[in-house]
Structure 1
Amino acid sequence: MYAMKMVEADRDAALHASFTQEERLATGRHVHLQNNVLTFGCLVEGALDPGRLRHAFLTLQQRHESLRLVFPEQPNGTGGTAELRPPQDTSFHVEQVTSDAPDAGLRQAQALVAEAAAAPFDLATGPLVRLLCVRITPVLHLVGCVVDHIVVDGESCTVMAEELFRLYSADGPDATNLPSVRTQFPDFAHSERLHLQGRTLDTLLAYWRRKLDGVGAIPRSHLRDLATDDGRRPAPERRLLVRRAVIEEPRTTRLRDATRLRRATLTAVFAAALKDVVRQRRLSLGMTVEQAGDVAVMGSISNRHRRDIRHCVGYFATPCVLRTDLRDAPPFTEAVRRETGTLLGTLRHQEVPHALMTRELDPERYGVRHRDDPAAVPGYVNFDVSEAGAAWAFTDGALRVTMIRIPRDEVPRGGVRLLVRDEGARVVVELRTDASRFGPRWAEAFLADYMSLVETFTEQPVP
């Protein structure tokens, strides 16, 4: 109904930043947060030629314009324009670990990539992507990529990993059988601005005006840990606390079966459980039934419903608000059904980036997540599901490449983040909190209640 027409941007004129990029540039250009950096690692088993990898890295940049974008500062301070630069290899580095033991060497290699992620990017001059080739043994390497979130999203990282090693293994760029890049990100950003205006924008915003009414573009969680919160502002030293739970076979199969039989999705089940635990926590803090049961959390959607951008690298994804009415304390299966409706409504209206809806409907919160003062950010809950089980792997002769995580101290901006990783045979639930606001006892009790709800859904008989 609101399909955006793709219009090619004029490369001889000033390129527009997207609405999402513009929010970061206008409110947090010089603020370095780990939340604004994406990393991924590729564990390479077999002999690896760093020179050949360097060439593949340059070719990857040539293929995807988003990896060559920079954002010069403007005299008026708006920063809404972008420029394309030629491919660069100044951010390609070859490193060597000191340990002879593969396990210890891998941990050192991951730490080197995390260290590279801690160094700020200069958005005005770039480059905004770094590639580290870390030698662990002669036949074991970690290739770590660090890229500023302003030019890529999570799905782009998988595209980059796959294409980097296809380019590495091919005799030439034309021998890779890579899908054609039908749309570059500058074209998407240009088309977005042409599309989201006038009646189209008004119609799309009408949905979000209803969904945000009373909660705003960054909904407050209204949660606190009585053991660490005495009513004062959060302590300035933000610290990451992580607690994990794992669903393994045969419970994984039972959970998938229960979800399928109720015509739901795992995302709906996990989101509904999160909201019901938030509701219960709010009640225990003295909120009324009406206040506690109107639950909204921050989520993320890929915004890749267009076929022509599925293989593109760029910042297409957008935060979103997921709001569900649980004021009548419904049975959990009913909460899942309502959450399914919430998710479907969000997907139907994902064309409006969160930055634009915030600017238009809740301007006081525009850019607050990017600002330098953590206390200015309202406490909120962030929810994400990733399908790690579908992560890319590559094999070519004696070379085998698998994607692995790079552990980093990424403290949730809103204080609480629930991340669910679907790894196929198992599902990992990770609760991340800012330990200065939500301590170990709070996190462990919260996660225990959460997993109990998920287990209840799994064990309930299907009508």
Structure 2
Amino acid sequence: MIPSFAQHQRLVGGRHVHALSNTVAIGLRLVGALNVDALSRAVAELLRRHEALRMVFPGDDSVELHTDGAPLWTIEADDPSRALEILVRNASRPFDLARGPLFRVTLVRVAPTLHLLGLELDHQITDGWSNRVLVQDLLHLYSAFAADEAPPPPPAALRFASFAEQERSRNFDRQVHYWRKQLAGISLVPDSGLRDRPGSPGVGEVSVTVDAAPIVDFARSHGVSPVPVITAAVQAVTWKRRLSWMRPDEAADVAIISWLANRIAPLVDHTVGYFATRTVLRTDLSGDPGFAEVVDRASRTLWGALRHQRVPHAALLRLLEPGRYGSIYDGAAPAFLELNVSSGMQLPRMPGLLVEQVEVPLVRVPAGGLKVSGLLAGGELVLRMAYREELFSSEWCEGFLGDVRGYVVAGVQDPAVCL
């Protein structure tokens, strides 16, 4: 078996990276009478169905399947806060990519009718889409085993190993031509351009909350999803910040790092694995456009990236000029902010059991210095900015997110407003 382009890029980029901030932690609160035996059987069946959960990477260009399962590890805690601390501590343990396993499950019993469940995975075997598939499958399997019924057959899906093989055989010529044109002449800002002030190494995080309803209504009325609306606001604030050290024509050429699902092969909607790919969203904001026009330009940029995501960023690193484009796509240059927007999980109703998602807070080091994450859930948009403290202060980042929130709130009310 061979790794996908994205998996291979992470391996050759340095296995030590996985010990820092590459753990995916999913937390679930289970309220009600839990059948622990049924949950254990569901975990075992989940491992059997999804081969990516059993993958290990002994070499940079090889994949093997781990023979040992990931048993359900159970522990008790006195209260919910202590239970969450246990999930955080377990998720903070690094994975060994060569030996595995890269999937762990922890169940913390707080009371007979209250448990916290933690799913811990290395990003090398999963992505945001896959996380939703895993949780949905686990809960459906649990329901079947708890009712002493045979589990439903899995939906038709392409094996991740088959996807990796197909990906290696693609012809990227036409798509590479698009990206050569899209990235031609892109400006790399010196490190000093974005640095707020020198500080001690570390990672900080700030956040703001916005009412999501006006954003969703605006997006619907303009025929787009909320993603380009949020992207537009982040790019516009980046543009204004760049004006303090760049010429106006250079500042208006805004490029940020973002992510695409890369689910374009047949029968991969229900496949678990690391499909997601980084992309560059480069938008021209010259002419002092109003909010609606900024959203339109960001939407066209995003649509172009979606149409040309067949060539993953890891392949572009090989096909384009690595010395120039590599720093852009890796997000290693502090000039490039990273943005990721997602929505909350839709959890199925469970007979006799209330299931709620719980955040497992982990420290993540943003490779390029800044990372903005947007989560649309429960009628709110929560924007979080993780930053490297040796490059930025909390005041600078709070000001940035405050500007994004203010621009979005004003823009959805008055589409002609300028930043």
The two structures have a TM-score, normalised by structure 1, of: 0.83
Q: Deviations over 1:430-450 (max 9, x none)?
A: 222222321121112111211
Q: Deviations over 1:347-373 (max 9, x none)?
A: 0011111111112213237887999xx
Q: CA 1:147/1:365 → structure 2, altered by over 3 Å: closer, same or farther?
A: farther
Whether 1:246 and 2:186 are equivalent positions in the alignment is no
Letter of the 1:299 partner, please give it.
S
1:190 counterpart residue number: 165
SS in 1 for 2:104: strand
CA contact (8 A) 1:163 1:178 kept: no
Matches within 5 A, 1:264-275: 264-275=224-235
One of 384, 387, 390 as aligned partner of 2:340: 384
Whether 1:94 and 2:74 are equivalent positions in the alignment is yes
Cα deviation for residue 393 of structure 1 reads 1.8
Q: Deviations over 1:323-380 (max 9, x none)?
A: 0011333222211111110010010011111111112213237887999xx9x75442
CA contact (8 A) 1:58 1:88 kept: yes
1:208 counterpart residue number: 179
Matches within 5 A, 1:253-264: 253-264=213-224
1:8 counterpart residue number: none
CA contact (8 A) 2:38 2:142 kept: yes
One of 419, 423, 436 as aligned partner of 2:390: 436
Q: Deviations over 1:172-206 (max 9, x none)?
A: 998333542421100100111112xxxx3111111
CA contact (8 A) 1:167 1:173 kept: no
1:283 counterpart residue number: 243
Cα deviation for residue 130 of structure 1 reads 0.7
Whether 1:112 and 2:55 are equivalent positions in the alignment is no
Q: CA 1:268/1:453 → structure 2, altered by over 3 Å: closer, same or farther?
A: same
Cα deviation for residue 225 of structure 1 reads 4.4
Whether 1:47 and 2:47 are equivalent positions in the alignment is no
CA contact (8 A) 2:292 2:416 kept: no
SS in 1 for 2:7: helix
Structure-2 separation of matches of 1:141 and 1:223: 48
* Aligned sequence identity (%): 35
One of 388, 400, 409 as aligned partner of 2:354: 400
2:96 counterpart residue number: 122
Q: CA 1:410/1:30 → structure 2, altered by over 3 Å: closer, same or farther?
A: closer
- Runs (5+) with no aligned partner, structure 1: 1-14, 74-78, 100-104
Q: Considering only aligned residues, what root-mean-square deviation do their CA atoms show, in Å?
A: 2.7
Cα deviation for residue 213 of structure 1 reads 2.1
Q: CA 1:263/1:180 → structure 2, altered by over 3 Å: closer, same or farther?
A: closer
**Residue correspondences, number:** 416
One of 347, 355, 358 as aligned partner of 2:306: 347
Q: Deviations over 1:136-164 (max 9, x none)?
A: 11111111011001111111111111111
Q: CA 1:366/1:87 → structure 2, altered by over 3 Å: closer, same or farther?
A: farther
Q: CA 1:333/1:120 → structure 2, altered by over 3 Å: closer, same or farther?
A: same
1:58 counterpart residue number: 44
Whether 1:168 and 2:138 are equivalent positions in the alignment is no
One of 399, 405, 410 as aligned partner of 1:445: 399
One of 282, 305, 316 as aligned partner of 1:323: 282
- Runs (5+) with no aligned partner, structure 2: none
Q: CA 1:246/1:126 → structure 2, altered by over 3 Å: closer, same or farther?
A: same
Structure-2 separation of matches of 1:370 and 1:325: 19
Letter of the 2:42 partner, please give it.
A
Letter of the 1:95 partner, please give it.
I
